């Protein structure tokens, strides 16, 4: 007998060579019907894989992220089986699960596939799924695996086999299809009830543009047709909310090939939005004791050698800039933190000075491959709402908590109600990925765990996701469509203070090393703007929107009164404009709706004679006739209630 420990601490005794599925059946048949995979001692396994010793088991269903991953990994194999049946002679490369679905890279050889073929492939996938073929795992020797793919003439799998060790190679078979794969997979194809192929694209083998371009087919599957229908509706809504589409329609930003890929140009309305976001955060930071600093866009290469950034990211950065002086090299700034270290170091510091908080909206530059660029979410030049706090070990937890409170305030103000705090720790099995002593890492990780517990945050722990210099707390935010985004980060760093030899004089009159906290609530202004734009579908909060009101005179006769209204609003710090076009009122209202202006103020004879405005909200709600002072009060109160940081 072996002991199986369940997540709630319950211990079940099972026969040796039992499976996680057997464990599920021992609990209830209903549960067993929904089990897709299992975590065994923290590693995801097939639910049908045998358990030979005492272990912890967490049963995974469709409600678990890793359960979905197993489903979509298995679906990639199912799609590959369908493709081999429909297009004989194709060569399969790799087919992993991704955040929402899966893809498979394929060498079509003599065949061609377009999106017009998707219904045929989907039909074949579901036909195969209904056969309820088991996913069967088999250990295979490297020699036999090589022989298998030599016979098939698949050079891609043979190349993958080169880096695999004999004794650690597995094949998976379902029906008539066999693939080189580590797994895990769902028990059988019957769990897949709905399938949709979403996109087709080109992809270089192993991401190297010097290699052959393959065909990548994206898809997604669900255990119920209803869930697929809902997902497709969400995708349609996402298209409407795409920040690239809305950014163009609302005249917020643009790109130019002449300026360069991944370098956004902010138009007047978008610039105004950014400036208000900056002002909003600067106001909150000032109350929290931050000092604004400014650093240059380039720096001597030696700065980043000292910080460790060049060794870790040098290959992915822009190439050094050579000056007329021999041997002198500069880099476009990829990070702000080394600069802030040098500001700290510019004069002697005492324990009485700490904590010191430097904040900067600093633009940084990192090279991204052209194929990776995507609107504002992946760019080559972006502005971080960066800040670095230098404090004592005793101050660390309190400072960390204060940053958490600032981020929570931002989320509340911008209506990001659903989020998870991800504690990103080091991968203990790969110490070479990180700099600094194990002792410092232990202290830094403990501080984050204690601070999040004290604030009662909903957290998940991810090993291997830490920055190279320290652990971090990342906020994973769900938008209005239920999509998860990494937004806001706080990092504890004992290593840069050591590398830059930062010191302060303690109460004992001895020199001590400060602790450094990195934080960026928005992350980057560009990515945050993209997320915010899609989250609110362009209907920005009243305090943030470029125009809060538009005045619509019903004819030219009332332009003078409209201008009078405009002046009063502007004097009350309300952003407004007048639509003086020779169009009918109905057309002006429709156009204002499309522009997503929160308030429409319609003025005619009655309004001009009574000193009022007829108020209509975006979306159609009619507020009736209001005195100008009353309308101003409505706007002012709403803005103040949202943007007051305690």
**Cβ within 8 Å of residue 637, ≥6 positions away:** none
Contact criterion met (CB below 8 Å) for 316 and 302: no
Task: Note if 518 is an active site residue.
Answer: yes
Distance CA 71, CA 187 (A): 9
- Find the catalytic residue in 91, 339, 388, 535: 388
Question: What is each CA distance from 533 to 284, 330, 349, 423, in whole angstroms?
Answer: 22, 36, 42, 27
- Find the catalytic residue in 243, 276, 518, 519: 518
Question: What is each CA distance from 172 to 130, 152, 176, in whole angstroms?
Answer: 18, 16, 11
What is the enclosing helix (H) or strand (E) of 425? strand 418-425
Task: Note if 339 is an active site residue.
Answer: no
Helix (H, G, I), strand (E, B) or coil at 544: coil
Task: Note if 384 is an active site residue.
Answer: yes
- Find the catalytic residue in 77, 426, 472, 616: 472
Phi, psi of 17 (to 5 degrees): 75, 10
- Find the catalytic residue in 274, 276, 380, 384: 384
Task: Note if 279 is an active site residue.
Answer: no
Beta bridge partners of 378: 374
Q: Is the peptide bond before 104 cis (omega within 30 degrees of 0)?
A: no
What is the enclosing helix (H) or strand (E) of 16? none
Distance CA 579, CA 96 (A): 53
Nearest to 220 by CA among 76, 63, 44: 76
Contact criterion met (CB below 8 Å) for 389 and 355: yes
Query: Do strands 511-512 and 472-478 pair parallel, antiparallel, or not at all (unpaired)?
Result: unpaired
Structure token digits, residue 173: 């078979």
Question: What is each CA distance from 244 to 264, 381, 479, 617, in whole angstroms?
Answer: 11, 17, 17, 26
Question: What is each CA distance from 33 to 195, 430, 431, 481, 563, in whole angstroms?
Answer: 20, 38, 41, 29, 69
Contact criterion met (CB below 8 Å) for 479 and 531: yes
Contact criterion met (CB below 8 Å) for 308 and 469: yes
Task: Note if 388 is an active site residue.
Answer: yes
Query: Catalytic site residues?
Result: 337, 366, 384, 386, 388, 472, 518
């Amino acid at each position: 007998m072996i002991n199986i420990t369940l997540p709630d601490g319950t211990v079940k005794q099972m026969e040796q060579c039992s499976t996680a599925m057997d464990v599920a059946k021992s609990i209830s048949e209903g549960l067993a019907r929904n089990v897709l995979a299992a975590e065994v001692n923290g590693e995801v396994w097939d639910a049908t894989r045998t358990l030979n010793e005492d272990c912890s088991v967490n049963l995974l269903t469709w409600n678990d992220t890793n359960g979905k991953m197993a489903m979509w990994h298995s679906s990639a194999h199912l799609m590959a089986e369908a493709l081999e049946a429909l297009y004989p002679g194709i060569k399969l490369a790799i087919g992993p699960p991704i955040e929402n679905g899966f893809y498979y890279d394929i060498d079509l050889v003599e065949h061609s596939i377009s999106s017009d073929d998707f219904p045929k492939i989907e039909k074949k996938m579901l036909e195969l799924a209904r056969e309820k073929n088991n996913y069967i795992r088999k250990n295979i020797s490297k020699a036999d695996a090589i022989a298998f793919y030599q016979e098939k003439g698949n050079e891609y799998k043979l190349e993958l086999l080169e880096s695999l060790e004999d004794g650690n190679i597995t094949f998976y078979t379902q029906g008539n299809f066999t693939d080189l794969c580590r797994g895990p997979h769902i028990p059988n194809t019957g769990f897949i009830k709905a399938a949709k192929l979403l996109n087709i694209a080109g992809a270089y083998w192993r991401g190297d543009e010097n290699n052959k371009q393959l065909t990548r087919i994206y898809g997604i599957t669900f255990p119920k047709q209803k869930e697929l229908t809902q997902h497709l509706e969400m995708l349609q809504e996402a298209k409407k909310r795409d920040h690239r589409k809305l950014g163009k329609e609302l005249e917020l930003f643009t790109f130019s090939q002449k300026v360069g890929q991944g370098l956004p140009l902010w138009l007047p309305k978008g610039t105004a939005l950014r400036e208000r976001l900056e002002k909003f955060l600067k106001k909150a930071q000032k109350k929290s004791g931050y000092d604004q600093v400014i650093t240059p866009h380039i720096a001597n290469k030696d700065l980043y050698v000292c910080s460790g950034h060049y060794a870790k990211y040098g290959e992915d950065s822009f190439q050094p800039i050579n000056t007329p002086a021999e041997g002198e090299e500069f880099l476009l700034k990829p990070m702000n933190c080394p600069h802030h270290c040098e500001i700290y170091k510019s004069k002697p510091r005492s324990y009485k000075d700490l904590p010191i908080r430097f904040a900067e909206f600093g633009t940084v530059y990192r090279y991204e491959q052209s194929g990776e660029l995507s609107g504002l979410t992946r760019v080559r030049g972006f502005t971080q709402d960066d800040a670095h706090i230098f404090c004592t070990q005793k101050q660390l937890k309190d400072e960390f908590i204060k940053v958490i409170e600032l981020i929570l305030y931002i989320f509340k103000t911008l209506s990001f109600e659903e989020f998870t705090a991800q504690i990103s720790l080091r991968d203990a099995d790969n110490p070479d990925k990180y700099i600094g002593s194990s002792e410092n890492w232990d202290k830094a990780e403990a501080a984050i765990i204690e601070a999040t517990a004290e604030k009662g945050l909903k957290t998940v722990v991810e090993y291997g996701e830490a920055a190279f210099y320290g652990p971090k707390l990342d906020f994973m935010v769900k938008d209005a469509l239920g999509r998860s985004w990494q937004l806001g980060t706080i990092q504890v760093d004992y290593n840069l203070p050591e590398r830059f030899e930062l010191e302060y004089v303690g109460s004992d009159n001895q020199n001590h090393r400060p602790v450094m906290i990195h934080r960026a609530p928005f992350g980057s202004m560009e990515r945050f703007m993209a997320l915010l734009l899609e989250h609110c579908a362009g209907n920005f909060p009243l305090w943030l929107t470029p125009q809060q009101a538009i005045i619509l005179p019903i004819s030219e006769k009332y332009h003078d009164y409209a201008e009078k209204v405009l002046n009063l609003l502007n004097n009350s710090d309300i952003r407004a404009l007048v639509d003086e076009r020779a169009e009918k009122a109905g057309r002006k209202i429709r156009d204002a709706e499309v522009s997503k202006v929160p308030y429409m103020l319609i003025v005619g004879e009655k309004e001009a004679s009574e000193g009022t405005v007829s108020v209509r909200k975006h979306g159609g709600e009619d507020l009736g006739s209001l005195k100008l002072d009353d309308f101003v009060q409505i706007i002012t109160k709403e803005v103040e209630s949202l943007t007051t940081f305690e």
